């Protein structure tokens, strides 16, 4: 017993030293961008030969929600537009959604403009997205390519510990907590449209998610001396159910469609919504979780606020039985969401290697690749 207690205390001390070392080693990318003329080698991303288009009118669909004051005809239009965008693009933007986006955007920008010493008071205690906090790395692997980005991660549902959130600027906690509530409301309404879009009861997908797991990730992409060599975020699909995103006025988000990167042009006040892996699985492939990435630029910092809406980690997820028939064979096997997240975190946010997406072949595809 005595030896076991000593061993246990020793492990706790080692863990604390590891955490403190991590915090001490953390150098915000925002600080690197101020002093460097060349990017460090561990930030250089693999070359990407896929072309980029930035043509007027060539972007993800835009859906007018009319502040949810919808006539039956408008409701039918919204359902159709969201379902079509989710199956063809996996992305769309919504306008007239009734959410005040100015306050959380200002509070978030004011946070990243604080002195480094103030921001480091809220440094995340672990790598990745395991706890509230400010950070840069999502992996400590020696061979991991680092992103040209700093972040502030907040757990917002089912538990919300405001004591861990920044005290500066003073309006930060109220603004972001309000945004979390608004995002939760909007996500549930969009899930209703998506359910109706495949002929299911309005509350079908919301019931599948149960008590939702929600988090808010604010990304800050500083100007970069060599923007063509780095990425703000690697090409990836999101592993949750829905992602709701506030962009500022600086372009950077790009969606992969028909082997071309399409720029998601920022619309003032709009919220960008994309289908994540769980909804592709639940809809048996009717809706698509697509690969996207973030590019940075040389002169202007860019900020985005992303909300991930998913289910609890111990939830089982499966395609809706109503969406499986002779014409639509089952494409994915049921999975425990926590197991899926572990696979994603283990390998990092790269591509879509955890969900097999060739729907033109056999129906025995499963969520994880066979080893």
Contacts of 361 (CB under 8 A, 6+ apart): none
More confident residue, 200 or 8: 200
With cut-offs at 50, 70 and 90, classify the pLDDT of residue 41.
Answer: very high
Q: What's the CATH architecture for 42-312?
A: Sandwich (2.60)
Q: Which pLDDT value is given to residue 13?
A: 44
With cut-offs at 50, 70 and 90, classify the pLDDT of residue 144.
Answer: confident
Share of the chain above pLDDT 70, in %: 82
Asked whether the predicted pLDDT for residue 139 surpasses 70, the reply is: no
Give yes or no for a contact between 229 and 44, defined as CB atoms under 8 angstroms apart.
yes
Asked whether the predicted pLDDT for residue 12 surpasses 70, the reply is: no
Q: Which pLDDT value is given to residue 366?
A: 38
With cut-offs at 50, 70 and 90, classify the pLDDT of residue 223.
Answer: very high
Q: Which pLDDT value is given to residue 31?
A: 92
Q: Which pLDDT value is given to residue 371?
A: 26
Asked whether the predicted pLDDT for residue 11 surpasses 60, the reply is: no
Q: What's the pLDDT tens digit per position in 121-137?
A: 999 876 555 679 999 87
Give yes or no for a contact between 359 and 331, defined as CB atoms under 8 angstroms apart.
yes
Asked whether the predicted pLDDT for residue 142 surpasses 70, the reply is: no
DSSP state of 81: H
Which residue in 66, 65, 138 sits closest to 349, CA to CA?
A: 138
Q: What's the pLDDT tens digit per position in 289-334?
A: 999 999 999 989 999 999 999 999 899 999 999 999 999 998 888 8
Q: Which pLDDT value is given to residue 369?
A: 36
More confident residue, 18 or 76: 76
- Which of 16-20, 234-238, 361-365 reaches the highest mean pLDDT? 234-238
Residue 275 is encoded by which pair of tokens? 């289908």
Q: What's the pLDDT tens digit per position in 149-187?
A: 999 999 999 999 999 999 999 999 999 999 999 999 999
DSSP state of 314: T
On whether the pTM is more than 0.75, the answer is: yes
Residue 364 is encoded by which pair of tokens? 């025995």
Q: Which pLDDT value is given to residue 96?
A: 98
**225: alpha, beta or left? (left if phi > 0; alpha if psi -120 to 50):** alpha
Residue 263 is encoded by which pair of tokens? 């720029």
With cut-offs at 50, 70 and 90, classify the pLDDT of residue 361.
Answer: very low
Spatial distance between the Cα atoms of 371 and 363, rounded to a whole number of angstroms: 18
Provide the mean pLDDT of the chain.
Answer: 86
More confident residue, 338 or 188: 188
Mean pLDDT over 36-49 rounds to: 90
Beta-strand ranges (E) seen in 83-199 are 91-95, 133-135, 150-157
Residue 164 is encoded by which pair of tokens? 């861990």
If you count DSSP H runs as helices and E runs as strands, how many of each does the chain have, helices first?
A: 9, 15
Cα angle, residue 86 at apex, residues 370 and 53 outer, rounded to 5°: 90
Q: Which pLDDT value is given to residue 344?
A: 73
With cut-offs at 50, 70 and 90, classify the pLDDT of residue 25.
Answer: low
Contacts of 20 (CB under 8 A, 6+ apart): none
Q: What's the pLDDT tens digit per position in 255-299?
A: 999 889 999 999 999 999 999 999 999 999 999 999 999 999 998
Contacts of 233 (CB under 8 A, 6+ apart): 147, 149, 219, 292, 293, 294, 349
């Amino acid at each position: 017993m005595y030896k076991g207690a000593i061993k246990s205390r020793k492990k706790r001390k080692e863990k604390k030293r590891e955490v403190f070392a991590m915090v001490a080693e953390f150098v915000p990318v925002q600080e690197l961008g101020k002093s460097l003329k060349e990017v460090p080698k561990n930030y250089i991303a693999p070359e990407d030969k896929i072309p980029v288009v930035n043509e007027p009118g060539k972007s993800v669909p835009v859906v007018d929600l009319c502040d949810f004051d919808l006539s039956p005809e408008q409701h039918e239009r919204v359902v159709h537009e969201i379902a079509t965008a989710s199956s063809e693009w996996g992305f769309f933007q919504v306008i007239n959604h009734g959410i005040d986006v100015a306050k959380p955007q200002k509070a978030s920008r004011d946070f990243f403009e604080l002195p480094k010493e103030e921001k480091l008071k809220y440094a995340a205690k672990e790598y990745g997205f395991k706890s509230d906090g400010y950070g840069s790395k999502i992996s400590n692997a020696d061979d991991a390519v680092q992103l040209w980005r700093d972040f502030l991660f907040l757990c917002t549902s089912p538990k919300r510990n405001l004591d861990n959130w920044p005290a500066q600027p003073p309006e930060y906690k109220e603004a972001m907590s309000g945004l979390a509530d608004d995002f939760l409301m909007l996500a549930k309404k969009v899930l209703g449209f998506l359910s109706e879009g495949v002929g299911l009861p309005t509350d079908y997908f919301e019931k599948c998610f149960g008590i939702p797991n929600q988090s808010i990730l604010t990304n800050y992409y500083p100007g970069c001396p060599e923007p063509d060599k780095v990425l703000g975020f690697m090409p990836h699909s999101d592993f949750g159910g829905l992602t709701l995103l506030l962009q500022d006025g600086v372009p950077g988000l790009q969606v992969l469609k028909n082997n071309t990167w399409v720029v998601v042009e920022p619309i003032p006040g709009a919220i960008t919504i994309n289908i994540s892996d769980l909804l592709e699985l639940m809809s048996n492939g009717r809706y698509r979780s697509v690969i996207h990435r973030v590019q940075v630029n040389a002169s202007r910092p860019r900020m985005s606020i992303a909300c991930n809406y998913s289910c609890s980690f111990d939830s089982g997820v499966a395609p809706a039985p109503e969406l499986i028939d002779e014409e639509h064979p089952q494409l994915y096997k049921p999975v425990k969401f926590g197991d899926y997240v572990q696979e994603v975190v283990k390998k990092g946010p790269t591509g879509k290697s955890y969900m097999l997406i060739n729907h033109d072949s056999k129906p025995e595809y499963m969520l994880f690749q066979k080893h």
